[in-house]
Structure 1
Amino acid sequence: MTAGSDRDRSGTTRAVSPIIGVLVLLALTVCLAAVVALGVSGLALESPEPTASFELAVDGDRSSITIDHVAGDAIDVEDLSVTIAVNGTELSQQPPVPFVGASGFDGTPDGPFNARADPEWTSGERAGLSVAGANSPGISAGDSVTVSLAVDGKLEATLETTAT
C-alpha cells in the first residue's frame, strides 16, 4: 500500500464510521445538555407562595375575631393584609396588621397581629383582634363573618364562620 492511499491491504477503502460516530455522540451530548439547562432554568424562578391552614372563630358578644394558624408555612405578618366582612359587607375600617391601637378596633391585637410581637406567624400561634362598635357593620351572634388573608397581594386563605 502506498502512502496517502485510502485503501487497506485488502484493497477496500477505510471506514469513516468511527469519526462519524464520535461526532454524532458529541452532538447528542450537546443537545441533551441544552435540554437539561432549559428545563432547570424553567423551574420556579420566583419563590413559592406560602401555603398554610387556618381556623376562624368569632365571638359576636365581644366582637372579637381569632384566627389560629393550624398548619403549613410561616407567614410574615408584615406582608399580610386582612379583609373582614360581616354578612357580605366589608368593615368600613380594616385592620392594618401588624398594629397597636388602630381606628375601628378596640385595644391591641393578640399574637402576631400585634406590632410588638414577632412578625412571623407560625403554626400553632393564634392571632386575634376586637372590632370597635364605631366600625360598621357591627358583629352580632348569628352573623356570617368572612376573613380573607393575602400575602403580598396574593390570596392565601378565605375563612368563613358564624359568630357565636
Structure 2
Amino acid sequence: MKPTADADPPTRRPNRSSRGFAPIGTVLLILLVTVLAGGSAVLVTSAVDPMEPAPTASVSLSVEDRTVTLRHRGGDALSIPDLRIRLRVDGEPLADQPPVPFFSAAGFDPGPTGAFNSAGTTTLSPGESASFRVAGTNDPVPTPGTTVELRIFDGDQPVAKLTTTAT
C-alpha cells in the first residue's frame, strides 16, 4: 500500500552519529563562563589600587610685598616633591604657577626659602616655613589689599586651601 500525503511520516530511530551529547557541551560552556568570570574578577580587583590618604597638616599663609610664606603649624610632614601649589589673586590664577621645589622659575624671583628651594630639604615639617616671591612679570601680582588663595595638593588629592589678604 502506498502512503498518502495525509499520513504521518515514518519515525526514524536516531543513531549515535546523528544526535549531540548535551552534558559535555553544557559542562564545557559552564567551565568557559566560570574561567572568564574569574579572569575578569582578577582584572577588576587588581585594577582598583587603593589610594593613600593625603597628608593631614595644619598650615598658615601670609603674603607680604609679593612674598608668599607657608608655615607648617602641625600634623604630617609635607613631602615637597609630591606637592602641587596653585595660587590665585582676587580669584584669578597666576599666569605662572610655582613649581616646587625650584630655584629659578618663570614668574618668580630666584631663591625661594626653606623646602621650596630645590637646594633645601625635601620635606616641610611642623615648625618650619617656606616662601617664594612672585615676580612683577607674573599676572596678577599680589598687592596690598588683594585676596590671595593658596591651594596645596599631594598629587591630585587636596591637602589645604588657604586664603589671606596681602599686606
Q: TM-score, normalised by structure 2?
A: 0.69
Larger Rg computed on CA atoms: 2
Give the paired residue count: 119
List gaps (5 residues or longer) in structure 2.
Answer: 1-49
Correspondent of 1:58 among 63, 68, 75: 63
List gaps (5 residues or longer) in structure 1.
Answer: 1-44
Q: Spell out structure 1 runs of 4+ moving beyond 2 A.
A: 45-49
Provide the alpha-carbon RMSD of the alignment: 1.4
**What pairs with 1:14-29 in structure 2 (closer than 5 Å)?**
none
1:135 aligns with 138
Matched, 1:157 2:160: yes
2:77 aligns with 74
Aligned to 1:146, the other structure's residue is in SS state: strand
1:18 aligns with none
1:81 is matched by which residue type in structure 2? Answer: R
1:94 is matched by which residue type in structure 2? Answer: Q
* Alpha-carbon distance in 2 for matches of 1:139, 1:47: 34
**What pairs with 1:1-164 in structure 2 (closer than 5 Å)?**
46-59=51-64, 62-164=65-167
* Alpha-carbon distance in 1 for matches of 2:82, 2:165: 27
Aligned to 1:78, the other structure's residue is in SS state: helix
Q: Percent identical across equivalent pairs?
A: 40
Q: TM-score, normalised by structure 1?
A: 0.70
Higher strand share: 1
> Deviation at 1:56?
0.4
